[in-house]
Structure formats: C-alpha cells, structure tokens
Structure 1
C-alpha cells in the first residue's frame, strides 16, 4: 500500500499539462503493486475541488484509492514534528496538513507518493518517498 499526496491525485483530475502523465503512470503502477491509500487530511484537501462527497468518492473509486484512518500514534508524531518545525523558525501558514500526512506514512511505514518531498525528507526521514 502506498499513501498518495493530494498533489498527485490533482494532476490527472485537472489534466495538469506538466504532471498529469507522470502522476497517472505512478498511480497505475502503484495500484497494481499493492494498492493506493489516502487519509482524512488528504481527503479534505481533495474536497476543495469537488462539489459533493459523492463526487470525491467517485473520483477516488476511479483512481482505485482506499481511505485509511490515521492512527493515534501518527497524530502524536505530527504534533511533535510540527513543534520542531515551528521552533526552527517555520511559518504557520498552510503546512500542518503535510505533517499529518508525513506522520501517517512514518507511523504506518507506508511509502509516500508526492511531488513535494522537501518537508517530508526534513521531518520524516524514515519515509520512503516516491517522487519525480
């Protein structure tokens, strides 16, 4: 099972001219190699682009993505990583979701498919990242 960052799912959903092909190929390959998953945070990020819950669920079904609940250990780890980020001068704006995603991948020992590896590498070095 591979955890999929929202940016990877947005690429084919929006037919991004630069990334849709790469992301779609990775989704197909990894779906066959063990399955794809998102968590509640990623689901929330995706919902921004859809009008209804049914539309999100349909898109995820088409992409063969399973919704996993985040374990409490991942929630705790996210808070600790975010605290390290803030104490080292990190800004507050728009980053907490990345810590939830990275902590989930780390706690569940899932690889993470993403196009934004920098923060994950810095705060969750144990994660196996799949990036362009």
Structure 2
C-alpha cells in the first residue's frame, strides 16, 4: 500500500546521526531536557544532510538548530 502512494522510505545516513547528536549536545548545554535525542533532531538532521526541504509547523526549533535547512511552513 505504501508503494502506491509514491512515498519513499530512506535509510538515515550516518552523517545525519552524527549531526543529530551534535545538535542534541547544543540543545542540552543551556538546560535542555535530559533523556534521548528528540525525534525532531533526527528528522531535521536527515533532511539537512540529504539536501531535502522539510514541511513543519515548528519552524522555531528547526531554524535554531538546522540553519541550512529549507523549511516549508503551512499557515494556520
């Protein structure tokens, strides 16, 4: 069924995993929540490393940590 939608599932590149960890370290420095890496960091890093645009309503977080990322934000 998923193939019929045209959605492609891509493995996350190692460079994206490294970038997600690096961004998480920046997030933690000023008192960010302890625990695992937030999923948004994996999503943002994957898009940034792969040169993809990202559709999101949470532009602030992505602009803060992924400056090179092209964001598409729908209006409410």
TM-score (norm 2): 0.84
CA–CA separation in structure 2 for the residues paired with 1:80 and 1:113? 22
CA–CA separation in structure 2 for the residues paired with 1:66 and 1:94? 26
Show structure 2 runs of 5+ residues with no match.
none
For residues 96-119 of structure 1, the C-alpha deviation after alignment (integer angstroms, 9 at most, x for no partner) is 111111111111111111122221
Change (3 A) 1:93 1:118: farther
Structure-1 residue corresponding to 2:63: 121
Q: Whose Rg is larger?
A: 1
Change (3 A) 1:113 1:77: same
When the two chains are superposed, the root-mean-square deviation of aligned CA atoms in Å is: 1.8
- 1:97 is aligned to 2:42: no
Task: Give the structure with the higher percent helix.
Answer: 1
Give runs of ≥4 in structure 1 deviating > 6 Å. Answer: none
The count of aligned residue pairs is: 74
TM-score (norm 1): 0.51
